[in-house]
Amino acid sequence: MSSTPDKPLVILRAAPHPTDRIFTPDALTRLHDRFTVIEPDSEAALDDALPDAFAVVGQPELPAERLARAGKLRAVLNVEGNFYPHVDYDSCFERGIHLLNCGPAYAQAVAEYALGLALDLARGISREDRAFRAGRERYVYEGNADAVLLQGSDIGLIGFGQLGRALHPLLAAFRPTLRVYDPWLPPAVLREQGLVPATLDETLTRSWFVFVLATVTDESRHLLGERELDLLPDGARLMLISRAPVVDFPALLARVAEGRLLAGIDVWPEEPVAADDPARGLEGLVLSAHRAGGIPEAFWTIGDMVVDDLTLIARGLPPARMQVAARELVGRYRNRPVS
Amino acid sequence: MSSTPDKPLVILRAAPHPTDRIFTPDALTRLHDRFTVIEPDSEAALDDALPDAFAVVGQPELPAERLARAGKLRAVLNVEGNFYPHVDYDSCFERGIHLLNCGPAYAQAVAEYALGLALDLARGISREDRAFRAGRERYVYEGNADAVLLQGSDIGLIGFGQLGRALHPLLAAFRPTLRVYDPWLPPAVLREQGLVPATLDETLTRSWFVFVLATVTDESRHLLGERELDLLPDGARLMLISRAPVVDFPALLARVAEGRLLAGIDVWPEEPVAADDPARGLEGLVLSAHRAGGIPEAFWTIGDMVVDDLTLIARGLPPARMQVAARELVGRYRNRPVS
Amino acid sequence: MSSTPDKPLVILRAAPHPTDRIFTPDALTRLHDRFTVIEPDSEAALDDALPDAFAVVGQPELPAERLARAGKLRAVLNVEGNFYPHVDYDSCFERGIHLLNCGPAYAQAVAEYALGLALDLARGISREDRAFRAGRERYVYEGNADAVLLQGSDIGLIGFGQLGRALHPLLAAFRPTLRVYDPWLPPAVLREQGLVPATLDETLTRSWFVFVLATVTDESRHLLGERELDLLPDGARLMLISRAPVVDFPALLARVAEGRLLAGIDVWPEEPVAADDPARGLEGLVLSAHRAGGIPEAFWTIGDMVVDDLTLIARGLPPARMQVAARELVGRYRNRPVS
Amino acid sequence: MSSTPDKPLVILRAAPHPTDRIFTPDALTRLHDRFTVIEPDSEAALDDALPDAFAVVGQPELPAERLARAGKLRAVLNVEGNFYPHVDYDSCFERGIHLLNCGPAYAQAVAEYALGLALDLARGISREDRAFRAGRERYVYEGNADAVLLQGSDIGLIGFGQLGRALHPLLAAFRPTLRVYDPWLPPAVLREQGLVPATLDETLTRSWFVFVLATVTDESRHLLGERELDLLPDGARLMLISRAPVVDFPALLARVAEGRLLAGIDVWPEEPVAADDPARGLEGLVLSAHRAGGIPEAFWTIGDMVVDDLTLIARGLPPARMQVAARELVGRYRNRPVS
């Protein structure tokens, strides 16, 4: 299979996804109409294709020596929502190779899920459903002693990247005071959007609902430790959405166990969680198995984004849908691929 | 205790609530500052107070003969969210006595809860929490096969009164197509708000999420019967929020049992639900014990509304916070008081 | 022409409008399909029709003795946006006759116009257009010394009825601080909508843009006198939208003449304005000839509203589109019909 | 003056602005607190400073040879809203030097002005103000024959960059159908924001209001020629906001002169406009002298953005406020600096 000037060569390796999870038949048709697509079944086949490649879709290893052989390469498109250390990013930046990930494909799904967890914790939805199934349901106000509104409440966001931006309009409908802690953003960026820039301590001290949306870097590991968790008001609800290492897990679980905090947890230090992990029995938790982003509509968006951005780049335009790597940040992330 | 021109007499009987559930200390202070308040401990004491009464707060029986003795009466303020047949409404309308209920106090709480149920059903939040507690959790996409977004979805509202109006801005943030069936409203009222007026059948046929928000009247009893439920698409999510009789319950539960529909149910034909009701074991349900509205913040709003509207009426102004009875509708409601 | 139970009799006297200004052909067809319509060409013809009339559309004189002869009357629908003293309102309230006006038909047009005036004054649009036509235009920043943003500004609303409610979402897009002075509304009603309740003095002292939206009553006449206008910050923009008597006109014009305030004026103490009125030459004004509401789309909405509400009432339902008279307020308005 | 590791050297040449137009005293203090600032008064002084420079603020000539001498350069921050051909962009991209302009500082001012023009044209605000001053005002509906609402209207945007994104929320409050023509964006980007992607012809054919927001490139010159302008419906309102060359000016003015279109024009083929330009007399125009963006608040935002982004870059973070040059687009713009 050879590419033509009209149909540049795209190397596709969708792993860890099967191809048809992230490409609808329609997206696949569009991809093949516009590009010569090769899905190499070995490292050797990949190496053979590189010199002619316009773009790589997926996350094969791309060290400097491989990139050196890919003289026509214009873009590397990761099919997960992170930048992992499998690419020699410096070479790419020097050569102006676009580095993209599909994080935005998940943002809406994550935002809706995060709001769902917050409403569950605000009102005890899953807790009271369990009680109902056990014949212990409490009618009307009996089960509502700790129920609170989101409307007009104080809400904190730890981190304001693409997840925060997707969550913001959903929360705005509740007219909250939205405090945001994000050390990578100047306050004016937040103020222009009607948000209140705040320190971490202020955000924690004054928020009834806290969404943890920060990515993992060396600085954000255990950003929420014992001291920080103790700043939260009694009865606060914490939604842990982004990455487990941002929080001191034993400290969080201890505070949930003693009834001081309620928490919705979607990401865990080890996945799968141990069978005998005591978190499984905590009444103050909503337990979730890394499910916030990975829904069918999000996966299909990945393929659609990939085709759209490849098309723009082939037309000599900048990509418009996927997340663009920032030179300063790409080396800082400490996320691990989902296995 | 006698009233003065400056402090008109208000008869207060907060039942079924204890007074301090619906009045914060601050609201109670405002009430006593502006009005002479009597809480009669017997029907006789109530009768004695009526001739001087400016307003009745609560739901004592007020038949025509009692109203006839209350020559100065200007308002009857129900402390629940309905109009029950305990008042001779015709006399009130003739005399221009304000008839108010505190339904709006609950509207935000109900709207947030309804959205919480919808997000739970969209993403399986309580179902997967149960699985996690049982050691059967499924990570990432394994448990997400039936997960869907609200964003851009087709949503139907059955009834568009105060609950619908409170829910609307919360849903609008998801940019859905919002079809509304409400036979009491002309289409233009809905269109002006960006809603799509629709017949019941259209609304059901085309909606992935359906919120049942209609009040009970002779016409709306079993509005959603077998035929109507079968119009819903496979996998639709139904949130039953307003009143149980609007839906044919056995028909709904049968469809949930066979996996055709998912449902969040907050109101039940009989409450408490029988211990052996098979609904308690249905995986496709989120079970809720009439908890949507009755939260502390909603109750406190009742007292606040009562004081505000009493104050306006005493100043010669129309009430502005509570729901005003419509002469045409007040006799149609078939709601029963919560016992 | 005689009515039938299926087609109740509607007396239509569209004056001061020609019928086809307020009824589109489609609305007129709907009206005639559902009702027996009579357009009496004399007072005698009107009197003859009254005993059988289901509703009167328009503003003929309806004193007590005429109403007494209209035993089947269910509704009086004014085709202007006010309640004038041409109806014996007390009889109507006693008998439960609906009293409606079509104010809401104008609300959106007025709101858009008010925003247009505010943006004009914020940026000098009409002033600089005049300069351009005179060959005196100033490019880029030269003409922008006094230009200000609405975004994030302090805005005051004097009165928050249907005009305020229509204007609110348009202004909200600018993320302002919106202070509202409305003595007929309790603060909670405003707070629930994200508005800041304030006294008149606070509202004036702190607002860069002030919209005067209050209706005329004995209390609101010259609500904005010399003292109040002097509370406004230097350079404030005042939009006079509702009724001229709310403002002390000479005081306002004096402050505009001396450059302390800018103003957009749509309503005038005498209309037409005298040919030699010095207001015509003031650079700090945007002059407007009572044009805010009366646009074709607003007029056509009147007919549509009339047919919709007549239809609801005939079906035994409350009206849903027109403004309903409040017993406490209907006698207070001091508006005069447009001649 | 020498820089230190703690206070990197910033070369500041604010021209065409005086420094205090774009820096408030507070912003200037922040700048000097964090950076060593030099304002070179000659090309030689600039050359002397380059080897040590961390950033250049302003638009001096920076050809390859100069950049080669600026070995520590990390950023070039243009103090206008465009990228002009005064920098050797290729060298910058290779070296990862940030290329920024302050376009976003103007976006809100431009968006508010564009809406002001649209409301003026929708309602004849400046036209009727002129008539009033000439004693020819027309009251109520007399002057409103061609007045239209924005609410629910069909609106077209030609180009959807930062101006479109700032205008979008202001327009959304009117619930329009918003069609967008932007050949640089895939349809999904628009759909996700509730916009309708459309071809140029569709956008023109179906829109009552058209905002021209496109930048000038070889492709967009005379994008709206005779054929395209003739697609607009009779009576359409066109707001020319971005750059004059996008429109065939004689063709536009001819259609305004004959009453087929109304237009608000802020940018002109030659500025200043000739004293005898017949545009000055056209009743169907709102004339504006390149005033949409250059207001005091926008200028002060420039300095604030510059300090914020310099600070982020010095901290090893990506800039967050100014517009980042896209390698593909930076050479395409054909804007000229304002003289």
In terms of Cβ atoms closer than 10 Å to its own Cβ (0-12, 13-18, 19+), residue A328 is middle
Kindly state the average pLDDT of the residues D301-313. Answer: 98
Closest partner residue to B137 (CB to CB) among A170, A172, A289 is A289
What is the per-residue pLDDT for B2?
63
Per the structure block, which two tokens stand in for C289?
A: 């000839």
Residues B60-112: tens digit of each pLDDT: 999 999 999 999 999 999 999 889 889 999 999 999 999 999 999 999 999 99
Tell me which residue of D3, D81, D136 sits closest to D290, measured CA to CA. Answer: D81
Sheet order of strands, A262-265 included? A196-197, A177-181, A154-158, A209-212, A237-240, A262-265, A285-287
Kindly state the average pLDDT of the residues C182-211. Answer: 97
Closest partner residue to C289 (CB to CB) among D108, D137, D287 is D137
What is the per-residue pLDDT for A336?
62
Closest partner residue to B318 (CB to CB) among C93, C308, C328 is C328
Q: Which helix (H) or strand (E) holds C106?
A: helix C103-123
Closest partner residue to A328 (CB to CB) among D94, D318, D326 is D318
Backbone angles phi, psi at A200, to 5 degrees: -60, -45
Chains that touch D (3 or more CB pairs under 8 A): A, C
Residues D280-301: tens digit of each pLDDT: 999 999 999 999 999 999 999 9
With tokens 């204890």, the residue in question is B18
Domain ranges (residues) in chain B: 9-102+296-324, 106-287
**More confident position, C215 or B1:** C215
What is the per-residue pLDDT for C220?
84
Interface probe with A: pick from B22, B132, B146, B178, most Cβ of A within 10 Å: B132
Closest partner residue to B294 (CB to CB) among A117, A140, A295 is A140
| CB spacing of C297 vs D149 below 8 angstroms | yes
| CB spacing of C291 vs D150 below 8 angstroms | no
D9-102+296-324, superfamily in CATH?
NAD(P)-binding Rossmann-like Domain (3.40.50.720)
Domain A105-287: which topology? Rossmann fold (3.40.50)
**Residues of chain B scoring pLDDT < 50:** 339
- The ipTM (two decimal places) reads 0.97
| CB spacing of A185 vs D93 below 8 angstroms | no
Residue C334 binned pLDDT confidence (cut-offs 50, 70, 90): confident
Chains that touch C (3 or more CB pairs under 8 A): B, D
| CB spacing of C328 vs B305 below 8 angstroms | no
Interface probe with D: pick from A89, A180, A317, most Cβ of D within 10 Å: A317
Residue of C nearest to D153 (CA): C297
**Distance from C-alpha of C279 to C-alpha of C31, rounded to nearest angstrom:** 45
What is the per-residue pLDDT for D224?
97
**Distance from C-alpha of C193 to C-alpha of C186, rounded to nearest angstrom:** 12
Q: Is A151 left (phi over 0), alpha (psi -120 to 50) or beta?
A: beta
**Distance from C-alpha of C85 to C-alpha of C73, rounded to nearest angstrom:** 18
With tokens 């994200």, the residue in question is C194
| CB spacing of A317 vs D96 below 8 angstroms | no
Interface probe with A: pick from D99, D328, D333, most Cβ of A within 10 Å: D328
What type of residue is D25? P
Rounded to 10 deg, the angle between the D103-123 and C125-133 helix axes is 80
Q: How far is CA B247 from CA A301, B137, B238, B241, C138, in A?
A: 37, 33, 11, 11, 68
**Distance from C-alpha of A98 to C-alpha of B227, rounded to nearest angstrom:** 55
Residue D84 binned pLDDT confidence (cut-offs 50, 70, 90): confident
pLDDT for C5 beyond 90: no
| CB spacing of C184 vs B326 below 8 angstroms | no
Q: Are B286 and B308 in contact (CB under 8 A)?
A: no
Kindly state the average pLDDT of the residues D201-218. Answer: 95
Q: Which residues of C are less than 8 Å from D281 in CB distance?
A: 133
What is the per-residue pLDDT for B336?
62
Residues B82-101 as b/e (b if ≥16 CB within 10 A, e otherwise) read bbeeebbbebbbeeebbbbb
**Distance from C-alpha of D7 to C-alpha of C293, rounded to nearest angstrom:** 59
> Degrees (nearest 5) of the Cα angle D181, D185, D190?
70
Q: SS3 helix, strand, coil % of chain B, rounded to 5?
A: 40, 15, 45
Q: Which residues of B are less than 8 Å from A271 in CB distance?
A: 139
Residue of B nearest to A170 (CA): B173
| CB spacing of B289 vs A140 below 8 angstroms | yes
What is the per-residue pLDDT for B333?
81
Q: How far is CA C195 from CA A290, C149, D49, in A?
A: 39, 19, 53
In terms of Cβ atoms closer than 10 Å to its own Cβ (0-12, 13-18, 19+), residue B63 is exposed
CA-based nearest distance B137→chain C, Å: 41
Kindly state the average pLDDT of the residues C144-160. Answer: 98
Pick the CATH number of D106-287 from 1.10.260.40, 3.30.420.40, 3.40.47.10, 3.40.50.720: 3.40.50.720
Residues C130-139: tens digit of each pLDDT: 999 999 999 9
CA-based nearest distance C265→chain B, Å: 28
Q: Which residues of D touch A (CB under 8 A)?
A: 93-94, 96, 184-186, 188-189, 304-305, 308-309, 311-312, 316-318, 320-321, 326-329
Q: Are C54 and C3 in contact (CB under 8 A)?
A: yes
Q: Which residues of A are less than 8 Å from D312 in CB distance?
A: 184, 186
What is the per-residue pLDDT for B221?
87
DSSP assignment of C249-297: HHHHHHHHHTTS-EEEE---SSSSPPTT-GGGG-TTEEE--S-SS--HH
Residue D125 binned pLDDT confidence (cut-offs 50, 70, 90): very high
Kindly state the average pLDDT of the residues C23-39. Answer: 98
| CB spacing of C295 vs D141 below 8 angstroms | yes
What is the per-residue pLDDT for B331?
84
**Residues of chain A scoring pLDDT < 70:** 1-2, 335-339
Sheet order of strands, C237-240 included? C196-197, C177-181, C154-158, C209-212, C237-240, C262-265, C285-287
Interface probe with C: pick from D117, D137, D262, most Cβ of C within 10 Å: D137
What is the per-residue pLDDT for A243?
93
> Degrees (nearest 5) of the Cα angle C267, C271, C272?
125
Question: D106-287: same fold as D9-102+296-324?
Answer: yes
